Amino acid sequence: MNRILSGTQSASNKTPRRINRNLLFNLIRTKQPISRADLARLSGLQRSTVSLIVEELIAERWIFEGASGHLPRGRRPTMIELNEQRAIVALDIHPAQTTVAIVDLGGRILAQSVIELPQDGKKALTAIVAGVRRMMAAHKEKSFDGIGICLPGRTDLQSQKLIFAPNLKWPVLAIKARMERATGLRVAMDNVANACALSEVWFGDSDRTHDLVLVNVSEGIGTGIIANGQLLRGDSGLAGEFGHVEIQPDGPQCACGNLGCWETLASNRAALRYYRELVPGSSKLTFAGLIKLAQAGDKSAVEALTRMARQLARGIRMIMSSLSPGEIVVVGDVTAMWHLIGPVVEAEIRKNSISRLPVLRPAYDGNAARLRSAVALFLSEGTV
């Protein structure tokens, strides 16, 4: 398992050159436009090493030389910037819909569209492939480096087998081969919570010194864990499935077959169930609709989200006790109501907490983290 290197500490002489490449690439991404001299100062690498790697990245079209910088005296430095013509196609897959987006190397979402998926698995795959082709055709000016896919399930990255996806009822892994054949691009896939945890390290507000747990709240709940600078996967790739830990033994049945799992109490679906209990006959309401009602001041919608927040806090306390992370970051549509959800969660986790309270916050880009994480998948794999 590779260590995520996104801070400003240089590698030792025994560390492969690729790590220094990724270090400099990330500095360019976050500090652009930047000079070679500043890259050497911030990275701690020798100027000769920086120059060699920069020339390689320019030759491979990851970066380019821009305008000259301004100094009070002496030679003007040539500034380095990312090549914004290069991009990744991002897929955020849900059981009933998929979002297709174009994301540049700096993590900017340039375009996106939502594809409603038919229940038939083969038709769903066909619809996603067609959606990707349309998106690429509409952005012919871009040079695409690959396709990043966020899955609502756990996969064995070695065998490319889906090992746990209780909320997904169609053969999603078949999309990798279909997409590679249809586009000729390399496809990187991972669990959405893992991918979003990587996105938070590359693009987010994390100071990169604390252990971090990302909680993805959607139809279900999953977590991605960064511990000691590494993405934790576990022996079978199932590390982070806190959503399927039993919280309430007599609770609702979960898609995994058990009763009262955390996600049955604190997911988007749980919030909709709470609202239906308060307002009978509202079965067609979506979670986006529930958020709009709450934003408009609907008392039942606010109560449903408050119940969801309390249950979200129960699982977060479990994470605090078991992992003691420095930060817990929440991703999902629920972050749009964080001004309501956040204070409730914080008040609940303070009750009977046995560990030091972590920094608790929504992802810096809210729900867009799922799309931006497609780029993080490629960066973290050492594509650069």
Together in a domain, 34 and 106: no
**DSSP summary character for residue 10:** P
Residue 375 lies in a domain: yes
Count: domains in the chain: 3
Residue 234 lies in a domain: yes
| Low-confidence residues in the chain, pLDDT < 50 | 1-2, 5-15, 159
Residue 316 tokens, joined? 């977060």
Is pTM, for the whole model, over 0.95? no
Check residue 13 and give its pLDDT: 46
Output 250-255 pairs: Cβ under 8 A, ≥24 positions apart.
Answer: 254/166, 255/166, 255/167, 255/220
Question: Which range of residues forms the domain containing residue 266?
Answer: 205-362
Residue 236 DSSP SS3: coil
Together in a domain, 228 and 165: no
| Cβ neighbour number for residue 2 with a 10 Å cutoff | 14
Q: How many Å apart are CA 127 and CA 133, to the nearest integer? A: 10
The residue out of 65, 82, 99 marking a domain boundary is: 82
Together in a domain, 184 and 215: no
Query: Which tens digits make up the pLDDT trace of 41-88?
Result: 999 999 999 999 999 999 988 899 976 555 555 567 789 999 988 999
221 backbone φψ class: left, alpha, beta (φ>0; ψ -120 to 50): beta
Check residue 7 and give its pLDDT: 47
Together in a domain, 242 and 352: yes
